[in-house]
Structure 1
Amino acid sequence: MSDTSVVLHDPLGLIETELPLDRVPYEALVTAVLAWKDPDLDPRDYEQIALQLTGHARAVAADVRRLAAALPKSDGRGALAEVVLREADGRLSAPLEGTARCVRNRARLVRALYTRLDRLPEPVQAVT
């Protein structure tokens, strides 16, 4: 194991815009988590699922932020996106717990972010 690390400097967030989200497996995970009746998993399993959902929620939130920022200030969709993003920031700042409740909350957050993302227009690409 090395004592060195590499820090990626991407102040414009260009890497995130180049990598499309792999939405299908996460939507399936959200559906499965929200359908749980009485799960009995080890706390570490709940934590792992919550970590997966947290990472994906952050990626979806970045897309929502990027698309909302491209809207005119007068477009109400941007204001609604800001409300969802503030809620997401609050939920994502809460510590993870090894519980079904925590995992369900992260799943609901991913679903809410995708709902908002789907209501934002993709920016028009300039033809060069």
Structure 2
Amino acid sequence: MSDTHVVLYGPHGLIEAELPLDRASHEALVTAFLAWKNPDLEPRDSEQIALQLTGHARAVVADVRRHAAALPKSDGRGALAEVVLREADDRLSAPLEGTPRCAQNRARLVRALYARLDRLTEPLPAAA
């Protein structure tokens, strides 16, 4: 094993644009964690789940932002995406806590971001 590594740097988000999101596994984590009514976890376990979801939320935010930017200004989906993105930025700027509540809030954020991404990527119905 080599003791060297390569750091990828993409200030314009082009690297992330080429990497597919690992959606299925993160949606399964979101579903499972939100279904868990009273998670009795150690703080470090809650924090690890929150960290995982935070990193993924940031990747989905970048994807939503790219798709919204590609829409014409007259497309209302872009304006709705901006509202969701502002809320996501606010929620992601809050410090992580080692609590199940914090992890569940991050799970809800990932779910909302995917809902918005789906709306941005679905084709509009043809005008009759």
Interval containing the TM-score (normalised by the shorter chain): 0.7 to 0.9
Partner residue in 2 for 1:105: 105
Distance 1:47 1:78 in 2: 32
Counterpart CA distance in 2 for 1:52 and 1:112 is 16
Spell out structure 1 runs of 4+ moving beyond 4 A: 5-8
Residue 117 of structure 1 corresponds to 117
Matching residue's letter, 2:110: V
1:8: Cα distance to partner? 4.2
Identity of aligned residues (%): 83
The match for 1:70 is 70
Q: Aligned residue for 1:32?
A: 32
CA distance in 2, matches of 1:53, 1:22: 12
Q: Aligned equivalents of 2:118 and 2:14: distance in 1?
A: 21
Q: RMSD of aligned C-alpha atoms?
A: 1.5
Cross-structure match for 1:92 = 92
Deviations 1:26-60 (A, max 9, x none): 00000011101111110000000000000000000
Gaps of 5+ in 1: 123-128
Give the distance between the partners of 1:75 and 1:91, measured in 2 at CA.
26
Q: Which runs of 5+ in 2 are unaligned?
A: 123-128
Aligned residue identity for 2:10:
D
User: Pairwise mapping of residues 43-58 of structure 1 onto structure 2 (< 5 A)?
Assistant: 43-58=43-58
Counterpart amino acid of 2:80? L
1:62 deviates by 0.2
2:15 alignment partner in structure 1: 15
TM-score, with structure 1 as normaliser: 0.87
